[in-house]
Amino acid sequence: MKNNKVTKTWLEARQFIKDGKLEEAEQVLDLGIMYMAQAQEEGIRDKDLIEGVKREVWLERFWISIEKYIWPTRKNYETIWKCN
């Protein structure tokens, strides 16, 4: 990944969360997940570093932030997202 775009994306998402701008945070977090999918398509594996951080750690950060900050704002999110 060039120009530290993943780090910038992560920092931007954190700021949106801090500011309570959860719609914007969700879009940025989704972008981060997309970057990780692109990296995988390019052959970057979970243990490989992207901007000094393992790909799997980046992916975990983006997903956990969505689960912790975004999904709870959705009505009935527990029933919608639970697998039967």
6, two tokens: 């993943």
Dist. CA 40–CA 22, nearest whole Å: 27
Q: 46-75: per-residue pLDDT in tens?
A: 999 999 999 999 999 999 999 999 988 887
What are 7-42's pLDDT values in tens digits? 999 999 999 999 999 999 999 999 999 999 999 999
Q: Angle 55-65/22-41 helices, nearest 10 degrees?
A: 150
d(CA 51, CA 24): 23
Q: What's the pLDDT band for 84 if we cut at 50, 70, 90?
A: low
Collapsed DSSP state (helix, strand, coil) of residue 43: coil
